[in-house]
Amino acid sequence: MTTQIFVNLPVKDLDKSVAFFTKLGYTFNPQFTDENATCMIISDTIYVMLLVEPFFQSFTNKDIVDTSKAQECTICLSAESKDAVNEIVDKAEAAGARIPKPATDYGFMYQHSYEDLDGHHWEFAWMDPNGMPQHQ
């Protein structure tokens, strides 16, 4: 069996989050969608559960991170090209995302990021396997 990943993220407004990620081209599994949550499909093995904050809070005794003051993690996804990295970040910005810093180009690797409507940090990276530095 292939390992799947389910990233769980708290959101303030589920409808706004669904509209935002729909503009980026993502789809959602209706079997795992109600007024408290939805399952966003990234790939055949990667899913993001968007959970309204009170529902998310029911799974933990810890505080939910205030993303305006702290970053809880970086969700990094690969892209097929530099253009694909720029395309998804441009779509996110047009849909209301904040761009925290300019793209970074290391030659063999190119990355760019955005913060979604709830301040979660998404990064997209393209890597040239033939251009990666060799370590001795």
Same structural domain for residues 35 and 90?
A: no
Full DSSP string of 6-43: EEEEEES-HHHHHHHHHHTT-EEEGGG-SSSEEEEESS
Last residue of a domain, one of 25, 43, 60: 60
Range of the structural domain that residue 34 is part of: 1-60
56 and 72 belong to one structural domain:
no
pLDDT above 90 for 52: yes
Q: Are residues 49 and 74 in the same domain?
A: no
Six-digit token pair at 49? 């559960």
Residues 113 and 69 in one domain: yes
Q: Are residues 69 and 25 in the same domain?
A: no
Same domain, 56 and 119: no
What dihedral do alpha carbons 41, 43, 48, 50 form, nearest 10°? Answer: -10
- Locate 124 and state its tokens: 């997209």
What are the pLDDT digits (tens) for 112-125?
999 999 999 999 99
Query: In this structure, what is the dihedral angle of CA atoms 76, 16, 65, 126, given to the nearest 10 degrees?
Result: 10
Whole-number pLDDT of residue 134: 66
Q: Mean pLDDT throughout 2-22? A: 97
Tokens 């993303």 sit on residue: 67
Domain match, 16 and 77 both: no
- For residue 6, the domain's CATH number is 3.10.180.10
Residue 100 and residue 52 in one domain:
no
Return the residue matching tokens 């047009």: 94
Number of domains in the chain: 2
Residues 131, 93: one domain? Answer: yes
pTM comes to 0.91
